[in-house]
Amino acid sequence: MWEKANRAFEKAEEASKLEQQGGHDADAARLMHEAAAMYPQATNLAIAAEMYDEGAAFERKDYDTFLSIARQQWKIFPGPETAGVVASALACKYAVTGDEQYKKQSEEMLLEAERGSQQAEQKKRFEEYAERIRYRLASRVIIDKPEYDKKFRSQKTSTE
């Protein structure tokens, strides 16, 4: 049992590293699901796998699934981070449909995320992703963090 648990957590660590690299969300989700299946007693692995599924759905441009998982996570773990993910998913839906209700709901969830971001680290994370979500809402263009950083943030640091 100990060996099985260790293998599961090693696989989870590998998934985490892939997820942080960006562009490998589907592989990260697959590995996290494998880890969760290997050691089902660690329920946090199954929760993490579902969260990785959000990233994989975004990567595939499956914004319906992205929004569905984000809303489900929000119901289970209401907080500033999950509110931000819901805001992001809603902004994606607005970008592809033009439906103003998605935009309004995204703005509401973004406000919820901001209100909940009380600690310095939370505020820093909020400012980082809120900028991208606002860009998505204003332009109806969906780009990921690396692309956004390259397009907008590298210019800021090179001119400062």
Q: Are 23 and 59 in contact (CB under 8 A)?
A: yes
pLDDT of residue 138: 97
Helix axes 80-97, 63-76, angle to 10 degrees: 160
pTM above 0.85, yes or no: no
pLDDT tens for the 160 residues of the chain, in order: 788 888 988 999 989 898 888 778 888 899 998 999 988 888 888 888 988 999 899 999 999 999 999 999 999 999 999 999 999 999 999 999 999 999 999 999 999 999 999 999 999 999 989 999 999 999 999 998 888 888 888 765 433 4
Residues 38, 5: Cα–Cα separation, whole Å: 7
pLDDT of residue 146: 83
Residues 110, 124: Cα–Cα separation, whole Å: 14
- Give the other-Cβ count within 10 Å of 155's Cβ: 11
The letter for the amino acid at 97 is T
Contacts with 115 (C-beta within 8 Å, 6 or more apart), sequence order = 80
Residues 43, 37: Cα–Cα separation, whole Å: 10
Cα distances (Å, whole numbers) of residue 104 to 62, 84, 90, 107: 20, 14, 9, 5
Nearest Cα to Cα of residue 90 among 136, 155, 157: 136
* Residue with the two structure tokens 């703005």: 107
pLDDT of residue 105: 98
